[in-house]
Amino acid sequence: MPQPTPQTPAHIPIHIPHPLTIAMPTTASSLQPPASSLFDATIPAGDGFRAEIPAGARFRITDLEGNQAVDTLFFCLPDTRERYDATATLQAQRRVYLTTGSRLISSRGRTMLTITDDTCGRHDTLGGACACETNQVRYSLDKRHMHACRETFLLQISDGRYGLGKRDCAHNLNFFMNVPVTPEGGLTFADGISAPGRFVEMRAETDVLVLISNCPQLNNPCNGWNPTPVRVQAWS
Ligand SMILES: [Zn+2]
């Protein structure tokens, strides 16, 4: 896919602020994307989303109402057999949480995306996606029929367009989700640290396909017991 052309004309001087002047907190309203929008959508609570993001484009997810877990998978294009690899990503950055500067590494060792801005500050790599089976085991037998992220992922790929199937729903990352690692090495689903309007933004380093399940979970505090919409935007 062709590289995007620069949007700034060569004759306009580019102002580079002193480092001390760029430490102000960024907000969604202060960083509106330019007009070259690739998509701009709101994902309802509990629903899914799928889109292609070309290399060089920016991709932003905004937590519109706060404390919403956004389960996300990335695949390389055109060969979707190469995909986001949680283990490789953790090894590359030597930490379990993601934030500005984190690189999302593929199953073939390439950087797929780089997180370039983050007003939440921490995103989970360990909690994975909720499923009907885990809802049943973790909570109670009657939770089995509640909608879960794994079902949303499967619905998003059910048309077969990208050659993806059940086996491709591997370990995902969870934007805005708070899953602290305990001193004993365990995991806990804790109340969120995000808030209305916080966002995470990344740059695609190669052509990617993004799959999102805007988590419908009602049985733990990962969504503040109240799943809410998120906004997804991309621009070149
Ligand atoms: Zn979920």
- pLDDT tens track for 41-66: 999 999 999 999 999 999 999 999 99
d(C-alpha 128, C-alpha 174), whole Å: 7
| pLDDT average, residue stretch 193-201 | 94
pLDDT recorded at residue 6: 43
The rounded Å distance from CA 147 to ligand 1 centre is 9
CB burial of residue 50 (10 Å; 0-12, 13-18, 19+) = middle
User: For residues 216 and 147, is the Cβ–Cβ distance under 8 A?
Assistant: yes
The rounded Å distance from CA 72 to ligand 1 centre is 10
Task: Please give the angle made by the CA atoms of 19, 92 and 214, to the nearest 5 degrees.
Answer: 85
Residues with CB under 5 A from ligand 1 (ion): 130, 149, 215, 217
The rounded Å distance from CA 121 to ligand 1 centre is 20
pLDDT in tens, 69-111: 999 999 999 999 999 999 999 999 999 999 999 999 999 999 9
The rounded Å distance from CA 91 to ligand 1 centre is 25
pLDDT recorded at residue 119: 96
d(C-alpha 143, C-alpha 132), whole Å: 7
Structure tokens that stand for 165 in this block:
């199937």
User: For residues 81 and 225, is the Cβ–Cβ distance under 8 A?
Assistant: no
The rounded Å distance from CA 15 to ligand 1 centre is 43
The rounded Å distance from CA 66 to ligand 1 centre is 16
The rounded Å distance from CA 155 to ligand 1 centre is 14
pLDDT recorded at residue 19: 33
The rounded Å distance from CA 148 to ligand 1 centre is 5
The rounded Å distance from CA 215 to ligand 1 centre is 4
